[in-house]
Structure 1
């Protein structure tokens, strides 16, 4: 039984060791490979690990290559981030311009030009309706004055007409009186002539 357990343990370690390598895989598995391939001994009560120097140099080279690759990726990512930050700042600038333009357009849309001055629609409507109401008041006053003047004119025409009729009557009577007096005078002159 003991032999079988040791054999299984050895077979499992050899399978794990076979999968682990310094030529491929992540750095952590390469460290596992070094740890499994290292030997150990005791001297003066201290335990020492013995690592093959070529494996150690190979691991060192792999770690440095990984660090260089990570630095390269970090540089690429920093360049990408810088590009994205430039794009974001450009987009933010355009957004600010668009927001400013939108505010100007909204203000222009919500206002109207009145005598060359920009006023809000509410103020414009107030001014417009005040002017219209004022014109209606003036129209009402004009109509009132016109009616009063028309009534006075009609009265004046009627009075004139009555006066003309009265004048005609007076003239006719005066003419009749004058004719009557002229006849009387003529009759008196004729009598005076006859009596002489």
Structure 2
């Protein structure tokens, strides 16, 4: 029975060892360079020389594999750097192209805005503010001329009315004077005729 217990214990221990070994193997290995160095260090063995200097003993195949992985990583990094450099160059060219298109669009927008804010006046392109100033100056000038001519017309009309009134008064006075002169002349003619008639008698 003792043997059976020992066998059973041995069986359990071997099974547990196998389970632990599987767990260690099933652990995902760190594939980064740091992880590979740590794995290499973990798998290395110690050696102490006769004079007491400690050495780490590593398999040459593991070192060669690590070396190949390092060169592969460096080549991949260089390729990534080259790809990124090409991408940066392409992006810079695209940015330059977009900047030139943006500048062209901005120039066109400024031109359209200037045309929109301007009016062609006698063939010259002037701003709306200047156009409004010129237009209102002309209107104001014409209004002043109109007021001046209205003033002159009223003044002339007043003078004309005065002249007509004076002429009417003068004509009336002339007519009165002519009538009186005619009456006087007739009176004098009668007197003369009477005197002539008296002398003939």
Report the TM-score, using the length of structure 2 for normalisation: 0.68
Point out where structure 2 has 5 or more consecutive residues left out of the alignment: 1-14
Indicate yes or no: 2:38 matched with 1:32: yes
Q: Is the 8 Å Cα contact of residues 20 and 30 (structure 1) preserved in structure 2?
A: no
**Residue 155 of structure 1 aligns with which residue?**
162
Indicate which of 82, 88, 92 corresponds to 2:95: 88
Indicate which of 44, 53, 61 corresponds to 2:68: 61
What is the CA deviation profile of residues 7-31 of structure 1, one whole-angstrom value per residue up to 9, with x for unaligned ones? 989975774456466xx93333333
Point out where structure 1 has 5 or more consecutive residues left out of the alignment: 1-6
Indicate yes or no: 2:40 matched with 1:41: no
* Deviation of 1:86 (Å): 1.7
Q: Give, in whole Å, the separation in 2 of the partners of 1:106 and 1:50.
A: 80
Q: Secondary structure at the match of 1:25?
A: coil
Indicate which of 144, 168, 172 corresponds to 2:175: 168
**Residue 3 of structure 1 aligns with which residue?**
none
**Residue 8 of structure 2 aligns with which residue?**
none
* Deviation of 1:172 (Å): 2.8
Q: Give, in whole Å, the separation in 2 of the partners of 1:131 and 1:37.
A: 102
Q: Give, in whole Å, the separation in 2 of the partners of 1:180 and 1:18.
A: 166
Report the TM-score, using the length of structure 1 for normalisation: 0.69
> Cα RMSD (Å) of the superposition?
3.9
Q: Give, in whole Å, the separation in 2 of the partners of 1:18 and 1:135.
A: 103
* Deviation of 1:188 (Å): 5.3
Q: How many residue pairs end up in the alignment?
A: 188
